[in-house]
């Protein structure tokens, strides 16, 4: 049998795409390497606790709702807003608040900074331009919606598009330098943390829009519950889902996809292949180089860096043993010291920012009664751990001891803000960049897609269509910016890819 579409990967983008295509009468095969659906939006169990592998919460909840309704999921879903706090030696602030109150709190904390109102006014103007760009900007659309947007184009839209291109090219540091003096303030407004601003003005506006205007939320079904609901739609409409089945190769003939070959050599034929694996994995591992028509395209994919990876410590704890008085929101970004004490020590967490998330705040039902779950996450380069990897899920000796040693250091630093933490621990699990590579199937364990550095930014906003006929990309990596946050952007790409397929089958049947 020839499928209408084969989707490689049951992550968020792949699932939405599969369900929408099946709902519209297509023969769909969804092939997933792992033994579960959901990709990184998945929960795993340890000793009575369920921990998230990836997302803790998401933004643009109404958009997520829209995508679910589009495939017929109308069941009521509660939402809990998550708040974000930053503590450094010079600042303790909840920054996920209304823009006006954030501005006035910062003005009180930094009375010398006369540029604060101008900075906020400029940022607000940019946010107004980008807030709903997925509804009108052709570069954030695909298939028929893109054609319709191009047809609707007028002088006002063209001007807005030009402004957006400009924001994408301007480093946010430039406007922060122009209006503000204090590095603590510039770093907060430029990175939502204590790091030097490094992203473009466009990405900065996207981040603040997500944080303060749209908010970041946790759904009552859990993020994994959303995937279960999407799976039910896909199965009800005849999609086949194969787990534990790695795709080894995308089969291509004369520049057009023909299907896929799995790791055990089975071939499945289809008219379309839609990859939810990231770009580098798809083009560098699943496609023979001679099948890629443009050498320049492959070189670009190879050269563009992704964002870095992280080390993550999952803790099941007795909350009564911890002093919580400094932690005032579900997510706390904490940096004990701004500068290293002596020489740079890569294994010390005292002078780097990391996230502490009280996960059980969101999901009390996912931990045993009277217990809590805490997650500590610190950005880390893949290369620091690479020498421990002997092969897929195979490590050289010493890896386990090393990651426990790193976890111990992270807990020690976290204890400065949460006294009693160590003695409260019931169980612990540790993920490293190697985990995100081998279990998350992400190239070099990358967490958040394409790099956000201005110098490496992509010209294209969406990377759905490829130089290979009938090969589409979906998921977080199919967008060069996370303009709806990670989760909703992955859904957006999945929905658009299905539109491209449906538009073509419509035009054929006419």
Ligand X SMILES: Cc1cc2nc3c(=O)[nH]c(=O)nc-3n(C[C@H](O)[C@H](O)[C@H](O)COP(=O)(O)OP(=O)(O)OC[C@H]3O[C@@H](n4cnc5c(N)ncnc54)[C@H](O)[C@@H]3O)c2cc1C
Q: Is 195 exposed, middle or buried (0-12, 13-18, 19+ CB in 10 A)?
A: middle
Contact between 468 and 291 under an 8 Å Cβ cutoff? The reply is: yes
How many residues touch ligand X under the rule CB under 6 A: the total is 35
Is the CB of residue 359 less than 8 Å from the CB of residue 36?
no
Q: Cβ distance 461 to 480 under 8 Å?
A: yes
**Which of 7, 21, 43, 56 touches ligand X by CB under 6 A?**
56
Does position 9 interact with ligand X (CB under 6 A)? The reply is yes
Among 5, 28, 30, 33, binds ligand X (CB under 6 A): 33
476 binds ligand X per the rule CB under 6 A:
yes
Residue choice 239, 440, 492, 496 for contact with ligand X (CB under 6 A): 440
Structure tokens at 477: 């990596």
Coil, strand or helix at 369: coil
Shortest Cβ 326–ligand X spacing (Å): 22
Q: Which position among 32, 291, 465, 481 is part of the footprint of ligand X (CB under 6 A)?
A: 32
Output the CA torsion sign for 34, 35, 39, 40.
negative
Options 4, 5, 12, 464; binder of ligand X; rule CB under 6 A: 12
At CB < 8 A and 24+ separation, what contacts does 33-36 make?
33/9, 33/244, 33/245, 33/246, 33/247, 33/441, 34/10, 34/243, 34/244, 34/439, 34/441, 35/243, 35/244, 36/10, 36/243
Residues 21, 30, 41, 322: which binds ligand X (CB under 6 A)?
Answer: 41
CB 200, min distance to ligand X, A: 20
CB nearer ligand X, residue 175 or residue 482? 482
For 246-367, list the strands marked E by DSSP: 247-253, 256-262, 267-275, 309-317, 331-334, 354-358
Query: Does the protein bind ligand X through residue 485 (CB under 6 A)?
Result: yes
252-291: contacts with ligand X (CB under 6 A): 276-277, 281, 286
Does residue 206 belong to the site contacting ligand X (CB under 6 A)?
Answer: no
Any idea what DSSP says for residue 318?
A: -
For ligand X, which residue of 119, 279, 452, 487 counts as binding (CB under 6 A)? 487
Report the length, in residues, of the chain. 510
Candidate segments 7-15, 88-96, 141-149, 231-239, binder of ligand X by CB under 6 A: 7-15
Q: Is 498 in the site for ligand X (CB under 6 A)?
A: no
**Residue 475 within binding range of ligand X, rule CB under 6 A:** yes
Footprint on this chain of ligand X (rule: CB under 6 A): 8-14, 31-34, 39-41, 54-58, 246-247, 276-277, 281, 286, 436, 440-441, 447, 475-476, 485-487, 490
């Amino acid at each position: 049998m020839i499928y209408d579409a084969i989707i490689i990967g049951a992550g968020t983008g792949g699932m939405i795409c599969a369900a929408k295509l099946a709902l519209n009468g297509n023969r769909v095969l969804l092939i997933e390497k792992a033994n579960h659906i959901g990709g990184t939006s998945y929960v795993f169990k340890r000793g009575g606790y369920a921990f998230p592998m990836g997302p803790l919460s998401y933004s643009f909840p109404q958009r997520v709702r829209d995508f679910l309704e589009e495939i017929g999921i109308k069941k009521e879903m509660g939402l809990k807003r998550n708040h974000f706090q930053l503590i450094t030696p010079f600042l303790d602030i909840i920054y996920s608040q209304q823009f006006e109150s954030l501005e006035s709190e910062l003005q009180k904390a930094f009375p010398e900074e006369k540029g604060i109102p101008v900075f906020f006014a400029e940022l607000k103007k940019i946010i107004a331009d980008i807030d709903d760009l997925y509804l009108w900007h052709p570069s954030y659309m695909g298939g028929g919606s893109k054609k319709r947007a191009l047809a609707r184009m007028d002088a006002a839209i063209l001007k807005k598009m030009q402004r957006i291109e400009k924001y994408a090219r301007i480093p946010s540091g430039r406007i922060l330098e122009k209006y503000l003096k204090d590095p603590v303030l510039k770093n907060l407004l430029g990175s939502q943390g204590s790091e030097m601003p490094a992203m473009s003005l466009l990405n900065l506006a996207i981040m603040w829009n997500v944080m303060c205007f749209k908010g970041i939320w946790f759904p009552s079904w859990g993020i994994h519950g959303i995937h279960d609901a999407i799976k039910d739609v896909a199965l009800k409409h005849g999609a086949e889902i194969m787990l534990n089945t790695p795709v080894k190769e995308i089969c291509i003939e004369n520049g057009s996809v023909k299907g896929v070959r799995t790791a055990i050599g089975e071939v499945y034929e289809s008219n379309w292949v839609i990859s939810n694996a990231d770009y580098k994995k798809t083009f560098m591992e699943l496609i023979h180089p001679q099948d890629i028509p443009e050498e320049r395209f492959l070189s670009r994919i190879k050269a563009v860096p992704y964002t870095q990876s992280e080390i993550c410590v999952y803790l099941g704890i007795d909350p009564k043993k911890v002093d919580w008085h400094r932690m005032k929101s579900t997510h706390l970004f904490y940096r004990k010291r701004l500068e290293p004490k002596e020489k740079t020590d890569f294994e010390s967490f005292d002078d780097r920012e990391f996230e502490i998330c009280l996960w059980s705040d969101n999901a009390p039902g996912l931990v045993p009664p009277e217990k809590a779950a805490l997650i500590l996450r610190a950005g880390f380069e893949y290369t620091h751990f690479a020498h421990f990897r002997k092969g897929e899920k195979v490590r050289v000796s010493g890896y386990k001891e090393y990651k426990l040693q790193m976890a111990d250091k992270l807990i020690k630093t976290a204890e400065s803000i949460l006294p009693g933490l160590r003695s409260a621990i019931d169980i612990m699990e540790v993920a490293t960049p190697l985990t995100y590579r081998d279990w998350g199937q992400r190239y070099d364990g990358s967490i958040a897609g394409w790099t956000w550095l201005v110098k490496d930014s992509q010209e294209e906003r969406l990377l759905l269509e490829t130089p290979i006929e009938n090969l589409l990309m979906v998921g977080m990596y199919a967008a060069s910016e996370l303009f709806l946050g990670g989760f909703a952007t992955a859904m957006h790409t999945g929905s658009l890819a299905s539109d491209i397929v449906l538009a073509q089958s419509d035009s054929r049947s006419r």
